[in-house]
Chain A
Amino acid sequence: MIPRWLLLLAAFLFSVLLGLGASSLVLVAVRIPVIETFWTMFDGAAGSWSALESSLVFTEPIAFTGLAAAVAFRARVWNIGGEGQMVMGAFGASLIALQTTLPAPLMLVTAVGCGIACGAIWGGLTAALKVWLGVNEVLSSLMLNYVAILWVQSLVYGPWREPGGGWPYSEYFPDTARLPSIGSELDAFVIAAPLLALALAIWLRFSRSGFEISVVGHSHDAARYAAISVSRVTILVMLISGGIAGIAGIQQVCGSAGRLYVLTPGYGYLGILVSWLAGHNPFLVLVMSVFYGIIMQGGASLQIAQIDPSLVRIFQAAIILFALAGLTLASRIQTRPRSKVVDPA
């Protein structure tokens, strides 16, 4: 039998090729040379170290929101509030960076800690609503996204706006609150992402809580039977998920930007997508967020090459749709022929 990972890998690569094929039909239809376009995309996103570095800029926040989503989804808690938790993370870090004057190492540590806490609280709010009031987490986490975004908007348009500045940005953070940079565009959290993925993988597989998350994610009846509190697990995963999503926000404000602004929308939702593509496996979340970063950077380089941005979006959507469909179909192939081992005993 073909090993599962090989089947999924083959399905993934094949689907991406199909996605590219479908995109090329669009290119042919509008008479743009296919090969050159694909080359531009590849060259701009992965053709050189600097291109790859630019891709990783997109990857970084997606990796964190993806890991955040994966933790919640494993317990079948549908946290789609990664966006809001990310924004609250950015807010929490900014609160420390802008409002306090702490000495060098303490400043950054406190800012990061406060950001994570704010993200966790934002996630915990959804859990509390679900556990105590029975509110569906999809609705509450989605609504809380808007609250978080509007809250940060009101800050950067209002009290925290840089004095004399024309844009909705805060003042620059002091250097003590900035993440050490790596290369020209990246920051230290690019290393934190794989470490976090490793820690999560170990925790999910070998810890009591990880096992409880897996049980709750498969069957609430089995959880009751094993005396596992579904409520407790729900709160736990929402706190952790929110905290990790918060890191994505911290990374964006304490990284190359160095100030609070209205974050580029979408990373929270992309995390959901990436987690699904990765089957909620922490390591695969990393792989898929690199893949997604390359697609985004590829799109950016196409725009530089004067190709219509809407075409670029069609490209991205086609590739992702095919990949998602391919992976879903492939994982079904694997589960179907189960009668093979059945021995009527």
Chain B
Amino acid sequence: MLAPTVQDAIVMSSITKHFGDIVANDFIDLTLKRGEIHALLGENGAGKSTLMNILSGVYLPDHGEITVSGQQIRFRSPWDAVRRGIGMVHQHFQLVDAFSVLDNILLGSAETSLRLNRREAVMRIKALGQEHGLHIDPDAMIWQLSVGQRQKVEILKLLYRQAEVLLLDEPTSMLTPSEADDLYLTLRRLAESGRSIVFITHKLREVAETADRVTVLRRGRVVASLGKAEASIQELGALMVGTHIHQQRPISRRPSGDVILKIEEMHSPAGRGASGLKGLTFELKAGEILGVAGVAGNGQVELAEQLAGILPIQRGKVWLKGTEITQTNALQRLRAGLRFVPEDRLGMGLIPQLDIIENMMLRDYRDQPLGKGMWVRRAVARKRAQQLVHDYDVRTPGIEVPVSSLSGGNQQKILIGRELLANPIVLIVAQPTRGLDIAATRAVHDRLLNLRNSGTGIILISEDLDEILQISDRIVVLYQGAVLGNWNRDEAERTGIGAVMGGHLLEAA
């Protein structure tokens, strides 16, 4: 093979793709050079994923051309793209948990013979791992691996299929900061070996740290394509959202109130991919946002659901306003003013097939004014739905449409709006802005801050450290089911918390 030269690996020109009335990609041009790490930056709905799905053969473009190594081509399926050396690592990994690494790599690989030659495959995988610093035991089972390791398997899978162009969809969204650093190193090595890499992201920091070139998309169009160091983080952010954004939100300092929620030695068994809880203890004060940071699977779901009463508390005690509520059920707790916005918005928090009116009733249909005797009062629910759509500026053609037809941001407004209507004493919110764009995120944060200012204690569980840093009064890290570290707002800083999230112990203070 010739030494890698600066040569265009892929040229996409005038790519256009419509979904119904929505233009996802509007005459997009993108040039990818060999040995380049190219970041595709944009908000949710900017058209990044659509563009990558076109490049990996999942979608056919309505219009436009793709040229691979100077040759114009037309992908009819992902297989065509794979044969051309283009592979994609999806945000949600496409791995079979019960299979070994080897089997996952062989699964669907384009072997010509019917017989699998496992021994040869193992040798190749090991050689590839050696070459690119992806050290994974081919015989390990996927379920035994961490998220970071699984991602390496996905990358190995592509390399095994001789991919020259690797597309990664939000590759760091599930990683710890140290795992992310590891990934950046891997990507750099791959680029140095002559491969081209595109990664989709909406994190500005990643772009600044890793990419050789960044293309910024907004509303389906390319708004800029810049080389490294041609733009600052602030400038990139401005390009991405279209207006200048503030890095940090100034929030008023308030004298903290009384302790309203106290958790002592909470335990729950570990599940697959989740650590369970191992003696969790903390306090929450009135009028405070307590940010619970941590990488997924360190006990977040257990904490939230046990507090809300959805999972029984196995061991440990909880007090709400001085009253022990350990033995109470979900209904008693929500009636007591302990409200919950679950992270699984459409699976638990809302019923996507039902309309806004019915979703307004979901948690409070038993009590006045929504319930009366054995009946529910739909008229009241209808009024509430109208009010909420108005107050939160929910974009919807009506209140009698299924919630599934709304965008993620509008769904979240309905979910949070409904829980806030009950005037909570304590609110638990899990991943409140996941998948939301900047405007919707801001709207959600405004609501949470207003609620805090009115004296509600809020537990904000989020995997997005920036979100936690922006609006929390106090921050703890959940690691392996226990609280590690405790920072006040003014002493919190990103790298220190990031290290703790990855399991690095705090220095003795």
Q: Are B351 and A219 in contact (CB under 8 A)?
A: yes
Which stretch (B19-27, B121-129, B245-253) binds chain A?
B19-27
Q: Are A345 and B374 in contact (CB under 8 A)?
A: no
Q: Are B351 and A218 in contact (CB under 8 A)?
A: yes
Check A343 for interface membership: any CB of B closer than 8 A.
yes
0/1 per residue, B281-318, Cβ < 8 Å to A? Answer: 00000000000000000000000000011100000000
Q: Are A339 and B20 in contact (CB under 8 A)?
A: yes
Q: Which residues, 325 to 342 on A, are CB-close (under 8 Å) to B? A: 337-342
Q: Which residues, 376 to 417 on B, are CB-close (under 8 Å) to A? A: 376, 378, 393, 395-397, 401-402, 404-407, 409-410
CB A345 to nearest CB in B, in angstroms, measures 5
Q: Are A206 and B347 in contact (CB under 8 A)?
A: no
Among A208, A342, A344, the residue within 8 A (CB) of B366 is A208
Residues on B with beta carbons closer than 8 Å to the beta carbon of A209: 374
Check A226 for interface membership: any CB of B closer than 8 A.
yes
Residues on A with beta carbons closer than 8 Å to the beta carbon of B351: 215, 218-219, 222
Question: Which of A215, A342, A343, A345 has its CB near the most chain B CB atoms (within 10 A)?
Answer: A345
Residues on A with beta carbons closer than 8 Å to the beta carbon of B361: 211
Which stretch (B66-74, B227-235, B329-337, B487-495) binds chain A?
B329-337
CB B370 to nearest CB in A, in angstroms, measures 10
Residues on B with beta carbons closer than 8 Å to the beta carbon of A35: none
Tell me the complex Cα distance, A235–B139, Å: 47
Q: Are A221 and B344 in contact (CB under 8 A)?
A: yes
Q: Are A339 and B22 in contact (CB under 8 A)?
A: yes
Q: Are A337 and B20 in contact (CB under 8 A)?
A: yes
CB closest chain-A residue, reference B397: A341
Q: Are A222 and B350 in contact (CB under 8 A)?
A: yes
Tell me the complex Cα distance, A208–B396, Å: 27
Q: A208-B376, A338-B404, A344-B45 are known contacts. Are A226 and B344 too (CB-CB below 8 A)?
A: no
Among A207, A219, A227, the residue within 8 A (CB) of B309 is A227
Tell me the complex Cα distance, A338–B397, Å: 11
Tell me the complex Cα distance, A307–B208, Å: 81
Q: Are A225 and B342 in contact (CB under 8 A)?
A: yes
Residues on B with beta carbons closer than 8 Å to the beta carbon of A227: 309, 329-331, 334, 363
Check A289 for interface membership: any CB of B closer than 8 A.
no
Among A211, A215, A337, A341, the residue within 8 A (CB) of B406 is A341
Q: Which residues, 192 to 234 on A, are CB-close (under 8 Å) to B? A: 205-211, 214-215, 218-219, 221-222, 224-227
Residues on A with beta carbons closer than 8 Å to the beta carbon of B404: 338
Tell me the complex Cα distance, A222–B308, Å: 13
CB A329 to nearest CB in B, in angstroms, measures 18
CB closest chain-A residue, reference B334: A227
Check B457 for interface membership: any CB of A closer than 8 A.
no
Residues on A with beta carbons closer than 8 Å to the beta carbon of B362: 215, 222, 225-226
Q: Are B349 and A222 in contact (CB under 8 A)?
A: yes
Residues on A with beta carbons closer than 8 Å to the beta carbon of B342: 225
Q: Are A226 and B363 in contact (CB under 8 A)?
A: yes
CB A240 to nearest CB in B, in angstroms, measures 14
Check B256 for interface membership: any CB of A closer than 8 A.
no
Q: A342-B405, A344-B45, A344-B407 are known contacts. Are A206 and B21 too (CB-CB below 8 A)?
A: no
Q: Are A224 and B410 in contact (CB under 8 A)?
A: no
Q: Are B348 and A222 in contact (CB under 8 A)?
A: yes
Among A206, A219, A226, A342, the residue within 8 A (CB) of B22 is A342
0/1 per residue, B336-366, Cβ < 8 Å to A? Answer: 0000101010011111011000100111011
Residues on A with beta carbons closer than 8 Å to the beta carbon of B210: none
CB B403 to nearest CB in A, in angstroms, measures 11
Check B148 for interface membership: any CB of A closer than 8 A.
no
Q: Are A219 and B347 in contact (CB under 8 A)?
A: yes
Q: Are A207 and B353 in contact (CB under 8 A)?
A: no
Residues on A with beta carbons closer than 8 Å to the beta carbon of B371: 208
Q: Are A214 and B358 in contact (CB under 8 A)?
A: yes
Residues on B with beta carbons closer than 8 Å to the beta carbon of A338: 402, 404-405
Check B437 for interface membership: any CB of A closer than 8 A.
yes
Q: Are A344 and B437 in contact (CB under 8 A)?
A: yes
Tell me the complex Cα distance, A337–B410, Å: 18
0/1 per residue, B37-68, Cβ < 8 Å to A? Answer: 00000001100000000000000000000000
Check B439 for interface membership: any CB of A closer than 8 A.
yes
Among A207, A215, A221, the residue within 8 A (CB) of B375 is A207
Among A205, A208, A218, A345, the residue within 8 A (CB) of B365 is A208
Q: A215-B351, A219-B347 are known contacts. Are A224 and B330 too (CB-CB below 8 A)?
A: yes
Check B440 for interface membership: any CB of A closer than 8 A.
yes
Q: Are A225 and B340 in contact (CB under 8 A)?
A: yes
Residues on A with beta carbons closer than 8 Å to the beta carbon of B363: 225-227
Residues on A with beta carbons closer than 8 Å to the beta carbon of B45: 344
Residues on B with beta carbons closer than 8 Å to the beta carbon of A221: 344, 347-348
Tell me the complex Cα distance, A2–B108, Å: 44
Residues on A with beta carbons closer than 8 Å to the beta carbon of B397: 341
Residues on A with beta carbons closer than 8 Å to the beta carbon of B308: 225
Residues on A with beta carbons closer than 8 Å to the beta carbon of B349: 222, 225
0/1 per residue, A233-256, Cβ < 8 Å to B? Answer: 000000000000000000000000
Among A210, A225, A345, the residue within 8 A (CB) of B410 is A345
Q: Are B374 and A218 in contact (CB under 8 A)?
A: no
Residues on A with beta carbons closer than 8 Å to the beta carbon of B330: 224-225, 227
Q: Are B365 and A222 in contact (CB under 8 A)?
A: no
Q: Which 9 A-B pairs have the closest CB atoms?
A: A227-B331, A227-B330, A343-B395, A344-B45, A338-B405, A221-B348, A339-B20, A218-B351, A341-B397
9 new A-B contacts, CB < 8 A, other than A215-B362, A343-B407, are A207-B375, A207-B376, A208-B366, A208-B371, A218-B351, A224-B348, A225-B362, A337-B20, A343-B395
18 A-B contacts, Cβ less than 8 Å apart?
Answer: A205-B378, A206-B376, A208-B374, A215-B351, A218-B354, A222-B349, A222-B350, A222-B351, A222-B362, A224-B348, A227-B329, A227-B331, A338-B404, A339-B20, A341-B397, A341-B405, A342-B406, A343-B410
